[in-house]
């Protein structure tokens, strides 16, 4: 009798348990879905931003970011079909379509003979509105995998044309890298094509602000663009531009009416700063990305039963570590506070400075060190002190790469300038207690954070291809 009772109890419990597990994802349909992709944002990048926020207030630890407080956390494997260390196109294809592919493909199979439908395209077919936002150019690999299908990520013009011909509702962020092509005396223009197809294209603050629900299909380009048609680095100031958070807020405003939306927001320059081993720029991009996520979180707080937010990365960039061989057990992340511009902007200032150099070597080098002190705090005795050996090394690099050209009357190359910038950035990282192993991507797992009904599906170790599949399941999207 006792045994029977126990059996009934166990059966009863397991039925309740199974039911609650099986039912959870389908309890309520997700009406509003956000996928945030921090390009190149591994765990080290997140932790560095968090530790920096504490260090500037003389504290040790990690300041919680909006997304690091999400209830569900998992790990994502990122490898591509044909390479262990992935790239943004292959990783983006996995995150957008649920398929592994080869390096460089934009939502196509490894042979580039077949297109894969993205979660944005599927969502659109089933009545959701769709928004694609990025801080880099809108035809870049990560945004492109959601609306385009190309054998190569470098087909910027073709990707732009597919954007113009797409039925997405909102594009926001950077501009186009290659929007014009002349074929048989015919000038084809991506923006013109988009307007013909019913898109409203805005690139002023005024026009951006006046966009409202009912504005129709929109392409909103940041008024002020930096290199490669991307938004400027956050550390360089975003005056006169909407921020990534502003773009996210505007997209919510425009897409909210109707049957729900799917929105992808990319923090694209975390990756670029990682490639450059530019720690301070990397931190500010990550924090700005978190501000965009905070906008989505505020929306979630109003619609918690029907909103899902998933935050992940396509891969890590730079092999960043919180510690280095020189500093061993010491850290000084506060030193990064003195950096006031990105490596990209410093390069431009360096070129400008070197164009008007005097032939007096001491004077020329003193001018360089003034520039370096203003930009990074390096060599400024009240900020980051340099030893005489460290100053000597910078001088040697300056003489070899720049001054030797001035004497000969030749032009330094881009690589000459970069040799100096890279060395200075390495010095700052070394003195902050950070380490970099690469100027490329790395193969380590990236984290995924999720909040909303069914967010527990993203816990554990999952493959990047599972992310869109799980989101589709929760949004009740069928292929
Ligand atoms: Zn990259």
pLDDT at site 15: 44
pLDDT at 1 over 90: no
SS3 90: helix
Q: Structure pTM?
A: 0.93
Interval 328-350: pLDDT, tens: 999 999 999 999 999 999 999 99
CA of residue 233 to ligand 1 center, whole Å: 15
pLDDT grade for 38, boundaries at 50, 70 and 90: very high
Q: Which segments of 146-204 does DSSP mark as H helices, in order?
A: 156-164, 190-196
CA of residue 88 to ligand 1 center, whole Å: 6
Q: Using N-to-C axis directions, what is the helix angle for 343-355 and 414-432, rounded to 10°?
A: 130
pLDDT grade for 257, boundaries at 50, 70 and 90: confident
CA of residue 272 to ligand 1 center, whole Å: 6
pLDDT at site 28: 61
CB 179 within 8 A of CB 160: yes
> Rounded CA gap, 336 and 58, in Å?
13
Dihedral in degrees, nearest 10, Cα atoms 191, 218, 291, 35: -90
Angle at 70 between CA 68 and CA 72, to 5 degrees: 110
CA of residue 425 to ligand 1 center, whole Å: 18
pLDDT at 437 over 70: yes
Place of tokens 């080869």: 102
pLDDT grade for 290, boundaries at 50, 70 and 90: very high
> Rounded CA gap, 377 and 247, in Å?
32
CA of residue 216 to ligand 1 center, whole Å: 33
CA of residue 277 to ligand 1 center, whole Å: 12
CA of residue 388 to ligand 1 center, whole Å: 35
CB 373 within 8 A of CB 379: yes
> Rounded CA gap, 174 and 213, in Å?
22
pLDDT at 391 over 90: yes
For 363, the token pair is 């004077």
pLDDT at 20 over 50: no
CA of residue 49 to ligand 1 center, whole Å: 19
Q: Using N-to-C axis directions, what is the helix angle for 414-432 and 361-376, rounded to 10°?
A: 50
Percent pLDDT > 70 in the chain is 94
CA of residue 453 to ligand 1 center, whole Å: 32
Interval 49-106: pLDDT, tens: 999 999 999 999 999 999 999 999 999 999 999 999 999 999 999 999 999 999 999 9
CA of residue 317 to ligand 1 center, whole Å: 6
CA of residue 187 to ligand 1 center, whole Å: 32
Average pLDDT over residues 254-262: 94
Upper half-sphere CA count for residue 394 (Cβ side, 13 Å): 26
CA of residue 230 to ligand 1 center, whole Å: 14
For 471, the token pair is 């989101």
CA of residue 307 to ligand 1 center, whole Å: 30
CA of residue 12 to ligand 1 center, whole Å: 52
CA of residue 83 to ligand 1 center, whole Å: 14
CA of residue 87 to ligand 1 center, whole Å: 6
pLDDT at site 116: 98
CA of residue 412 to ligand 1 center, whole Å: 27
For CA atoms 17, 19, 25, 30, give the dihedral sign. Answer: negative
CA of residue 114 to ligand 1 center, whole Å: 25
pLDDT at 475 over 80: yes
CA of residue 274 to ligand 1 center, whole Å: 8
32 Cβ neighbours under 8 A, 6+ residues apart: 256, 260, 261, 263, 299, 300, 303, 306, 307, 308
Average pLDDT over residues 170-193: 96
For CA atoms 377, 379, 384, 386, give the dihedral sign. Answer: positive
Q: Which residues pair with 37 in a beta bridge?
A: 266, 312
The closest of 447, 62, 443, 52 to 279, measured between CA atoms, is: 52
CA of residue 179 to ligand 1 center, whole Å: 22
CA of residue 134 to ligand 1 center, whole Å: 14
pLDDT at site 451: 98
pLDDT at 428 over 80: yes
386 Cβ neighbours under 8 A, 6+ residues apart: 378, 379, 394, 427
The closest of 110, 40, 115, 106 to 82, measured between CA atoms, is: 110
pLDDT at site 359: 84
């Amino acid at each position: 009798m006792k045994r029977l009772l126990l059996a009934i109890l166990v059966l009863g419990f397991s039925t309740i348990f199974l039911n609650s597990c099986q039912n959870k994802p389908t309890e309520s349909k997700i009406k509003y879905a956000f996928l945030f992709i921090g390009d190149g944002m591994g765990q080290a990048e997140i932790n560095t931003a968090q530790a920096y926020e504490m260090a500037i207030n003389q504290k040790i630890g990690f300041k919680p970011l909006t997304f690091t407080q999400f209830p569900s956390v998992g790990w994502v494997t990122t490898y591509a079909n044909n390479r262990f260390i992935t790239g943004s196109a292959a990783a983006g294809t996995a995150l957008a379509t649920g398929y592994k592919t080869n390096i460089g493909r934009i939502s196509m199979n490894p042979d580039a003979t077949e297109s894969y439908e993205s979660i944005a395209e599927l969502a659109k077919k089933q009545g959701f509105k769709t928004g694609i936002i990025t801080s880099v150019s809108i035809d870049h690999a990560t945004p492109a995998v959601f609306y385009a299908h190309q054998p190569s990520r470098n087909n910027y013009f073709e990707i732009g044309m597919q954007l113009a011909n797409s039925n997405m509702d909102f594009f926001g962020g950077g501009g186009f890298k290659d929007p014009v092509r002349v074929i048989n005396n015919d000038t084809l223009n991506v923006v013109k094509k988009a307007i013909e197809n019913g898109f409203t294209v805005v690139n002023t603050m005024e026009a951006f602000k006046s966009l409202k629900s009912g504005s129709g299909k929109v392409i909103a380009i940041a008024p002020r663009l930096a290199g490669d048609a991307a938004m400027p680095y956050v550390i360089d100031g975003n005056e006169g531009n909407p921020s990534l958070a502003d773009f996210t807020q505007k997209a919510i405003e425009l897409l909210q009416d109707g049957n729900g939306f799917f929105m992808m927001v990319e923090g694209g320059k975390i990756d670029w700063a990682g490639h450059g081993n530019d720690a301070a720029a990397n931190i500010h991009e990550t924090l700005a990305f978190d501000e965009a996520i905070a906008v989505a979180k505020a929306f979630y707080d109003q619609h918690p039963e029907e909103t899902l937010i998933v935050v992940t990365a396509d891969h890590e960039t730079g092999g960043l570590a919180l510690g280095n061989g020189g500093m061993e057990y010491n850290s000084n992340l506060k030193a990064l506070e003195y950096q006031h511009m990105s490596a990209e902007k410093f390069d431009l200032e360096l070129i400008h400075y070197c164009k008007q150099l005097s032939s007096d070597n001491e004077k020329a080098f003193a001018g360089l060190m003034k520039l370096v002190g203003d930009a990074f705090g390096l060599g400024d005795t009240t900020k980051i002190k340099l030893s005489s050996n460290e100053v000597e090394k910078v001088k040697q690099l300056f003489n070899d790469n720049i001054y030797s050209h001035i004497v000969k009357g030749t032009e330094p190359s881009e690589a000459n300038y970069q040799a100096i910038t890279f060395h200075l950035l390495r010095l700052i990282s070394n003195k902050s207690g950070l380490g970099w192993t690469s100027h490329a991507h790395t193969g380590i797992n990236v984290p995924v954070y999720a909040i909303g009904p069914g967010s527990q599906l993203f816990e554990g170790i999952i493959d990047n291809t599972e992310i869109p599949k799980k989101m589709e399941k929760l949004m009740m999207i069928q292929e």
